[in-house]
Amino acid sequence: MSALLSRITSNPEICGGRPIIRGMRVRVVDVLDLLAAGLTHEQILKELPYLEPDDIKAALAYAASRLDHPVLSA
């Protein structure tokens, strides 16, 4: 998992510091939006040929890691 997450970077000079794929101007949220719109991995790679299959997996792993937190109830 950490190998995948190492593909996710952020730089205040690129996309306002939002999480991006391997220092490129492709935000994690862009990949997630394409998946949510129903595109397959193959379609995304065709649309964004500079991405690699592990970049898509990394975006999903990053999103999952950000959502994995305990919920406190009253």
Structure confidence by residue, pLDDT tens digits, 19-68: 999 999 999 999 999 999 999 999 999 999 999 999 999 999 999 998 87
**Total domain count, the chain:** 1
Flag whether 33 is in a domain: yes
Cβ within 8 Å of residue 29, ≥6 positions away: 18, 19
Domain that holds residue 47: 2-66
Flag whether 72 is in a domain: no
Flag whether 39 is in a domain: yes
pTM of full prediction above 0.85:
yes
- Say how far apart CA 67 and CA 74 lie, in whole Å: 20
